[in-house]
């Protein structure tokens, strides 16, 4: 018979067994509930704790010159994030981070004090700043691979290339125009994190696979550089307001340089005046002055005149209605050749009267004035060339020597190149090709012929006239270059007054446009200087800059001197001896 203590012990054992069975049943039921009914919710919570959604954007494609030199590219720029729950000394960490990042300490401290396990500290910092922060060895501070736009040549071709904003979207220039092509693709991915919040398995490959396409320009970095340096020196020497220089291959229409001064650094564009961002070679129209005379002469030749046709130039003063046209040097009879060589306004006006308004308008429009070139840059101007029906007699006279119409520098160099190219107008080219992030050519652009505006014979006759300009007694002798037959035309145009009729006193645009060699032109160059102070004649201000750019470009391109008549005579004499 069991004693009372034994019974008591058995009851305790039974109670423990019942309790254990109950616990097991409860755990089994709870496990069933967790695994079956709450599985999805708990999985999501676990994913949130140990995984992270990341948006990855591919690097922006590059902008390259014709020789694949980088003009716009990308550099590493890590993004700094933090897990506030892991920060031990919030105040000290905020102080250290703010000092390195050169930002407000209070805002950094506020970010580090937030609830949650993620906060953004700074996007796209420099590698030097990232290295300094790494050296602090702060727990809870993390680095994400990222990049930002970088222009390795600083202000080189800045107005053409443009720049991007903080999110790497194009804001100006080609960066803006071709943003959809250059912009990298975006993808959302989920990555795992460890207990400390560190990313475990991010794949670096997607960023490269998502990289945008690149564009290859017709611009030549070397010619662009020497054009910009020459332009800067010219503007400074003459205390001018600004300047432009364009270099084109006449046979293809390819632009090798579009230079501006003053410029700006697109890496730090916000520190520059917004007015300097503009690609004024395309966006700004101005009265071109006497360069237009070569197109007036071409129209006369097409209408049956010859280079030796003569016009009476009224001894330097000629009235049209109530207006009087003047020449710098009074002359009586001039041939068509001499009208261009000596740059006679009266001679050009007499040509216009003889061939008529309709003919002059036809050829000016044919050379591209009054229409956009569609070169592929934002903000291009049409210029101004009114219908000939709206021209008065004085309008027709003024337009014949470059006043009363407005052109862009790109239109002007394109027209000059058409004369160099035997009368064939080419579409200006700035984009050579588009390539993928793997280097494959997606699209290649070929030179485009627009129209034969004058005959090759007429073009050759105008070339000869332009060659006379740089010879003795011409207005552009300072553009002459030994060993090459240079063709050119000077221009000294009064600037139109702002906000009122007429022209501003003592404000000029000095320009020179030309090409060389005469027989087979390799390069056409236009130099435009706005408001020079020391001198204002195009032959004194712009012609020397033209010569410098031409000489340095020919040297760089290894374009050998021509066998001119003097050289042939010397060789022949040597052979006889």
Residue ranges of domains in the chain, CATH in brackets: 78-145 (3.90.1310.10), 221-569 (3.40.710.10)
Cβ contact 411:369 at 8 Å: yes
Question: Residue 109 and residue 222: Cα distance in Å, rounded?
Answer: 49
What are the DSSP E strand ranges found in 361-502?
A: 424-426, 431-435, 441-444, 449-452, 487-496
Burial of 401 from C-beta contacts in 10 A (0-12 / 13-18 / 19+) = buried
The whole-model pTM stands at 0.84
d(CA 157, CA 257) in angstroms, rounded, equals 8
| Tokens (6 digits) for 31 | 């496990």
Please report, in tens digits, the pLDDT of each residue of the chain (577 residues total): 556 666 677 777 777 777 777 777 777 666 666 566 555 665 555 555 555 566 677 789 999 999 999 999 998 888 888 888 888 888 888 888 888 888 888 888 888 888 777 888 888 888 888 888 888 888 888 887 778 899 999 999 999 999 998 888 999 999 999 999 999 877 766 655 555 555 544 455 556 678 899 999 999 999 999 999 999 999 999 999 999 999 999 999 999 999 999 999 999 998 888 999 999 999 999 999 999 999 999 999 999 999 999 999 999 899 998 999 999 889 999 999 999 999 999 999 999 999 999 999 999 999 999 999 999 899 999 999 999 999 999 999 999 999 999 999 999 999 999 999 999 999 999 999 999 988 899 999 999 999 999 999 999 999 999 999 999 989 999 999 999 999 999 999 988 877 677 788 889 999 999 999 999 999 999 999 999 998 999 999 999 999 999 999 999 999 999 865 444 444 344 443 3
Token couple for 159: 């107005």
Nearest to 244 by CA among 213, 274, 288: 288
3-state SS assignment for residue 338: helix
CA distance 295 to 419: 9
Largest Cα–Cα separation, the chain: 156
Report, as residue numbers or ranges, the catalytic residues.
Answer: 290
Cis (ω within 30 of 0) for the bond into 423?
no
Structure tokens at 255: 């632009």
Beta-carbon contacts of residue 526 (< 8 Å; ≥ 6 apart): 244, 245, 246, 409, 412, 413, 416, 511, 512, 513
């Amino acid at each position: 018979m069991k004693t009372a203590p034994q019974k008591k012990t058995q009851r305790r054992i039974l109670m423990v067994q019942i309790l254990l069975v109950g616990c097991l049943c409860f755990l089994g039921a709870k496990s069933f509930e967790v695994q079956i009914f709450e599985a999805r919710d708990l999985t999501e919570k676990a994913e949130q704790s140990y995984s992270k959604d990341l948006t990855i954007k591919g690097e922006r494609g590059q902008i390259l010159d014709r020789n694949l030199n980088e003009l716009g590219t990308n550099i590493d720029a890590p993004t700094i994030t933090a897990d506030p729950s892991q920060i031990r000394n919030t105040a000290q960490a905020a102080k250290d981070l703010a000092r390195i990042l050169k930002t407000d300490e209070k805002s950094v401290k506020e970010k580090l004090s937030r609830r949650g396990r993620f906060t953004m500290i700074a996007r796209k910092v420099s590698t030097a700043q990232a290295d300094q922060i790494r050296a602090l060895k702060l727990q809870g501070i993390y680095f994400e691979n990222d990049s930002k736009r970088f222009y390795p040549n600083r202000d080189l071709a800045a107005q053409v290339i443009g720049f991007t904003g903080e999110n790497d979207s194009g804001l100006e220039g080609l960066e803006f125009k071709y943003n959809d092509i250059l912009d990298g693709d975006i993808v959302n991915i989920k990555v795992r994190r460890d207990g400390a919040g560190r990313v475990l398995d991010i794949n670096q490959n997607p960023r490269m696979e998502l990289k945008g396409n690149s564009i290859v320009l017709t611009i030549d970095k070397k010619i662009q550089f020497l054009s910009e340096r020459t332009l800067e020196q010219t503007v400074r020497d003459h205390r001018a307001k600004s300047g432009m220089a364009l270099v084109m291959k006449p046979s293809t229409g390819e632009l090798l340089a579009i230079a501006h001064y003053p410029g700006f650094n697109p890496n730090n564009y916000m520190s520059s005046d917004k007015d300097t961002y503009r690609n004024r070679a395309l966006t700004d129209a101005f009265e071109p002055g006497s360069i237009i005379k070569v197109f007036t002469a071409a129209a006369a030749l097409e209408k049956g005149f010859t280079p030796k046709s003569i016009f009476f130039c009224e001894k330097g003063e000629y009235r049209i209605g109530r207006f009087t046209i003047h020449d710098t040097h009074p002359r009586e009879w001039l041939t068509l050749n001499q009208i261009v060589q000596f740059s006679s306004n009266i001679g050009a006006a007499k040509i216009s009267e003889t061939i008529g308004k309709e003919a002059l308008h036809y050829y000016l429009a044919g050379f591209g004035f009054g229409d956009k070139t569609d070169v592929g840059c934002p903000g291009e101007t049409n210029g101004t060339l009114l219908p000939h029906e709206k021209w008065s007699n004085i309008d027709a006279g003024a337009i014949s020597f470059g006043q009363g119409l407005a052109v862009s520098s790109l239109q002007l160099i394109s027209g000059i190149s058409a004369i160099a190219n035997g009368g064939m107008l080419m579409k200006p080219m700035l984009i050579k090709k588009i390539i993928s992030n793997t280097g494959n050519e997606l699209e290649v652009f070929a030179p485009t012929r627009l129209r034969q505006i004058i005959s090759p014979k007429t073009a050759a006759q105008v070339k000869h006239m332009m060659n006379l300009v740089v010879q003795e007694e011409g207005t552009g002798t300072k553009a002459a270059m030994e060993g090459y037959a240079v063709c050119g035309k000077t221009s000294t145009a009064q600037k139109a007054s702002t906000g009122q009729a007429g022209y501003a006193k003592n404000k000029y645009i000095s320009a020179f446009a030309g090409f060389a060699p005469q027989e087979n032109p390799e390069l056409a160059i236009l130099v435009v200087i706005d408001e020079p102070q020391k001198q204002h004649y195009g032959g004194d201000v712009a012609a020397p800059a033209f010569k410098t750019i031409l000489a340095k470009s020919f040297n760089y391109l290894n374009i050998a001197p021509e066998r001119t008549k003097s050289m042939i005579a010397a060789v022949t004499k040597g052979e006889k001896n």
